[in-house]
């Protein structure tokens, strides 16, 4: 066999061998080692299964839970996260499960949750988004880390503090379409319009709202402060999706609760359902447990928000009076008992914006209409990024004033 022929045979064989070794390492060798390491420290969980981990069990538990009708109860935890609900009951508040060959440590013990979310040791970065999620959200503030995060967070803090909210022009961003390409084109047009106004002398600045600050940073001559074009587009996508879906779903569920509990309409006043995900960058101690590098951490905030230990056995009942004396009193000062907007340095930058927007929208509706539940409504919350009403929310709006349309 000539040297060339040998090469033609050997090179693909070598690649195949390396791929096989990597595969065996990732799927056969590493998972049992991680499982043993955590089991020996008291962390239990459903056993690792080759290739699919626990995904098949999760899918069938979800399917079963969603197939059952749930009446109008607020007991959403066993419905939207049946696997987490059942595994916390079986294995304890912190347990190990498997997303394919990827180890996922689920943490719902408040002290550990605080440690992870505060991330003072800088060992728990945001987990990398999937391809699909990053296309939709853009690689913006929600996912970036380090110096870049500090720079972008400073910009958005400036735009979203109380006073600036009056200047927010959401219509600019609301034009965006869902597909990534269309979003990109749309953002480009909006930015160009702002730039043109300044170039043509129609405006003397790019504006003081968040988009104005982003365009200003994009134009900055100081390399350290300057935002790249990609960063600008990514932040627009991030804020569109982070701001839009969440507030829509908060408003929708609040209207439903007000329709069911009509007495609250005269008095007036949830969250990403899958939980908050972090990575483990290096071997690190969390509480008493030593964690290996390169596993994922899931903080299922729904589990903590529905923990009878904090909230009592009537946790699933709609009782907003729990918060009558503030959140600190309701949670007995335990920050990890209730954190719909996250916890620590990566908590929601749009919290004030979201609550202000929701209060304004609700008070505008409630000034004019009484809301009752339509008999057509079927209660069926579905976890799709946020918690969505599967068949929509049908309510009847009755005018409070004769001259209202
Ligand atoms: C009901 C409404 C909302 C809820 C429940 C909510 C919830 C959250 C939560 C739980 C986090 C932390 C995620 C984590 O730790 O991994 C977060 C982060 C974030 N939210 Fe919101 N959010 C809402 C509305 C908004 C709005 C209106 C905006 C923008 C206009 C926004 C922008 C962001 C951004 C940019 C981050 C990432 C912050 C960072 O990593 O520094 N959110 N949100």
Domain parsing of the chain, residue ranges: 41-399
Q: Specify the ligand 1 atom closest to the Cα of 117.
A: 15
User: From the CB of 303, is ligand 1 less than 6 Å away?
Assistant: no
User: From the CB of 347, is ligand 1 less than 6 Å away?
Assistant: yes
H helices then E strands: how many in the chain?
16, 10
CA 271 / ligand 1 centre spacing (Å): 9
pLDDT at 296 over 50: yes
Query: Measured between alpha carbons, how far is 65 from 22 in angstroms, rounded to an integer?
Result: 37
CB 82 within 8 A of CB 65: yes
Q: Given this model, what pLDDT does residue 49 score?
A: 96
The neighbour count for residue 41, using CB atoms within 10 Å, is: 12
Q: Which two tokens stand for residue 278?
A: 């972090």
CA 399 / ligand 1 centre spacing (Å): 34
Q: Which two tokens stand for residue 113?
A: 């949750």
User: Per CATH, which fold does 41-399 belong to?
Assistant: Cytochrome p450 (1.10.630)
Q: Using CA positions, which residue lies closest to atom 8 of ligand 1?
A: 341
CA 276 / ligand 1 centre spacing (Å): 11
Q: Specify the ligand 1 atom closest to the Cα of 353.
A: 27
Inter-CA distances, 298 with 2, 107, 199, 246, 286, Å: 55, 6, 48, 19, 14
- Banded pLDDT at 272 (limits 50, 70, 90): low
pLDDT higher at 270 or 244: 244
> Chain-wide mean pLDDT for the chain?
86
Query: Measured between alpha carbons, how far is 247 from 159 in angstroms, rounded to an integer?
Result: 18
Nearest to 270 by CA among 135, 401, 126, 388: 388
Query: Measured between alpha carbons, how far is 227 from 152 in angstroms, rounded to an integer?
Result: 9
pLDDT in tens, 354-404: 888 888 888 888 888 899 999 999 888 888 777 888 888 999 999 988 655
Looking up tokens 């600036």 gives 164
pLDDT in tens, 207-229: 888 888 899 999 898 888 899 98
Residue from 160, 254, 350 to probe ligand 1 pocket by mutation (most atoms less than 8 Å from CB): 350
The annotation status of 333 as a binding-site residue, yes or no, is: no
User: From the CB of 34, is ligand 1 less than 6 Å away?
Assistant: no
Most confident of 131-135, 259-263, 270-274, 301-305: 301-305
- Banded pLDDT at 166 (limits 50, 70, 90): low
pLDDT at 138 over 80: no
User: From the CB of 342, is ligand 1 less than 6 Å away?
Assistant: yes
Q: 214: part of which helix (H) or strand (E)?
A: helix 210-219
What's CA 142's distance to the chain center, in Å?
9
Query: Measured between alpha carbons, how far is 84 from 105 in angstroms, rounded to an integer?
Result: 11
Q: Specify the ligand 1 atom closest to the Cα of 343.
A: 15
Most confident of 98-107, 211-220, 231-240: 98-107
Query: Measured between alpha carbons, how far is 253 from 255 in angstroms, rounded to an integer?
Result: 5
Looking up tokens 């009592």 gives 312
* Candidate from 17-21, 51-55, 166-170 with smallest mean pLDDT: 166-170
User: From the CB of 139, is ligand 1 less than 6 Å away?
Assistant: no
User: From the CB of 341, is ligand 1 less than 6 Å away?
Assistant: yes
CB 292 within 8 A of CB 34: yes
Mean pLDDT, residues 231-255 taken together: 83
pLDDT at 198 over 80: yes
Q: Given this model, what pLDDT does residue 284 score?
A: 97
Predicted TM-score of the model (pTM): 0.81
3-state SS, residue 215: helix
Residue from 126, 242, 244 to probe ligand 1 pocket by mutation (most atoms less than 8 Å from CB): 242
CB 297 within 8 A of CB 115: no
Q: Given this model, what pLDDT does residue 292 score?
A: 97
The neighbour count for residue 204, using CB atoms within 10 Å, is: 7
pLDDT at 252 over 90: no
* Candidate from 118-127, 137-146, 244-253, 258-267 with smallest mean pLDDT: 258-267
Q: Under 8 Å CB-to-CB from 82, ≥6 apart: which residues?
A: 61, 62, 64, 65
């Amino acid at each position: 066999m000539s040297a060339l022929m040998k090469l033609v045979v050997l090179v693909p064989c070598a690649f195949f061998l390396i791929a096989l070794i990597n595969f065996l390492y990732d799927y056969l060798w590493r998972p049992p080692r991680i499982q043993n390491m955590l089991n020996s420290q008291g962390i239990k969980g459903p056993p690792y299964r080759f290739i699919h981990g626990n995904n098949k069990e999760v899918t069938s538990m979800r399917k079963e839970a969603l197939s059952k009708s749930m009446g109008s109860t607020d007991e959403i935890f066993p419905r939207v996260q049946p696997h987490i609900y059942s595994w916390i009951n079986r294995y304890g508040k912190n347990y190990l499960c498997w997303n394919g060959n990827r180890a996922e440590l689920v943490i719902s013990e408040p002290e550990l949750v605080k440690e992870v979310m505060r991330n003072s040791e800088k060992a728990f970065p945001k987990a990398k988004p999937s391809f699909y999620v990053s296309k939709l959200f853009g690689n913006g503030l929600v996912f970036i880390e380090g110096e870049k995060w500090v720079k972008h967070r400073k910009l958005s803090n400036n735009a979203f503090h109380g006073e600036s909210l009056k200047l927010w022009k959401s219509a600019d961003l609301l034009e965006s379409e869902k597909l990534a390409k269309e979003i990109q084109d749309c953002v480009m047009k909006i930015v160009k319009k702002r730039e043109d106004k300044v170039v043509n002398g129609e405006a003397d600045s790019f504006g003081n709202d968040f988009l104005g600050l982003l365009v200003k940073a994009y134009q900055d001559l100081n390399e350290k402060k300057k935002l790249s074009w990609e960063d600008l587009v990514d932040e627009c996508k991030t804020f569109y999706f982070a701001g839009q879906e969440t507030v829509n779903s908060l408003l929708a569920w609040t209207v439903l609760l007000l329709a069911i509990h009509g007495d609250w309409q005269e008095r007036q006043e949830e969250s990403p359902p899958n939980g908050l995900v972090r990575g483990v960058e290096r071997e690190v101690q969390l509480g008493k447990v030593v964690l290996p590098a390169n596993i994922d951490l899931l903080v299922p905030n729904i589990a903590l928000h529905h923990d009878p230990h904090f909230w009592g056995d009537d946790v699933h009942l709609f009782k907003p009076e729990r918060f009558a004396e503030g959140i600190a009193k309701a949670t007995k000062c335990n920050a990890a008992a209730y954190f719909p907007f996250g916890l620590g340095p990566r908590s929601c930058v749009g919290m004030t914006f979201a609550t202000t927007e929701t209060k304004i929208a609700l008070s505008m509706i409630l000034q004019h209409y009484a809301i009752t539940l339509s008999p057509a409504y079927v209660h069926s919350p579905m976890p799709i990024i946020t918690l969505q009403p599967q068949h929509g929310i049908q309510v009847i709006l009755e005018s409070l004033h004769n001259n209202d349309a």
